[in-house]
Amino acid sequence: MSGTAHVRAQPWQVGQWLNVREPLTLESLRGRVVVLHAFQMLCPGCVSHGIPQAKAIHAASPPDKLRVIGLHTVFEHHEAMTPLALEAFVHEYRLRFPIGIDQPAADSPIPLTMRAYGLEGTPSLILIDKAGCIRLQHFGQMDDLRVGAVIGQLLTEPA
């Protein structure tokens, strides 16, 4: 899916955070553009494309205007992609932005936030505007030029 409907983004359901001291809520980021990058550490397309893109956005953006948030949405190989393994991955790949571990569901391999957002797989990119509405949700690779253009648009809009 790749669309622009102004749907209000649901709260994240995160059990554990990396790279941040306090749990991060979407509400606390109101007024900023939020780039939510859903990934799995053993997903090849995430490692080759999505994560480098998220790192580049993080490096290029002023934190008072835009925040990159990783979301580890494990829906397969749960036994391999544990929080402990994710910590090693984050260390090796030098990820510095906050990463939330999506809360596992009791009744499904799909974790709670992934289900609430209707994500189809990883990597998925979700761009949320200053008012907390989803403006782009894309499964798979999306080139930097297009991602940059939407970010530039959202940054330009009034808060």
Cβ 101 vs Cβ 73: under 8 Å:
no
- Residue 41 or 114 with smaller CB distance to its own copies: 41
Cβ 30 vs Cβ 9: under 8 Å:
no
Closest distance between its own copies and the C-beta of residue 150, in Å? 6
Closest distance between its own copies and the C-beta of residue 15, in Å? 18
- Residue 30 or 77 with smaller CB distance to its own copies: 77
**Phi, psi dihedral angles at 119 (to 5 degrees):** -70, 140
Closest distance between its own copies and the C-beta of residue 98, in Å? 20
Closest distance between its own copies and the C-beta of residue 147, in Å? 7
Selection from 96, 18, 7, 27 nearest residue 57 by Cα: 96
Residues that bind its own copies (CB under 8 A): 42-44, 47-48, 53, 56-57, 60, 76-77, 79-82, 84-85, 87-89, 91-93, 143-157
Tell me, what amino acid is at 5? Answer: A
- Residue 8 or 146 with smaller CB distance to its own copies: 146
- Residue 23 or 83 with smaller CB distance to its own copies: 83
42-48 long-range CB contacts below 8 Å, 24 or more apart? Answer: 42/77, 42/80, 42/81, 43/122, 43/123, 45/122, 45/123, 45/140, 45/141, 46/122, 46/123, 47/93
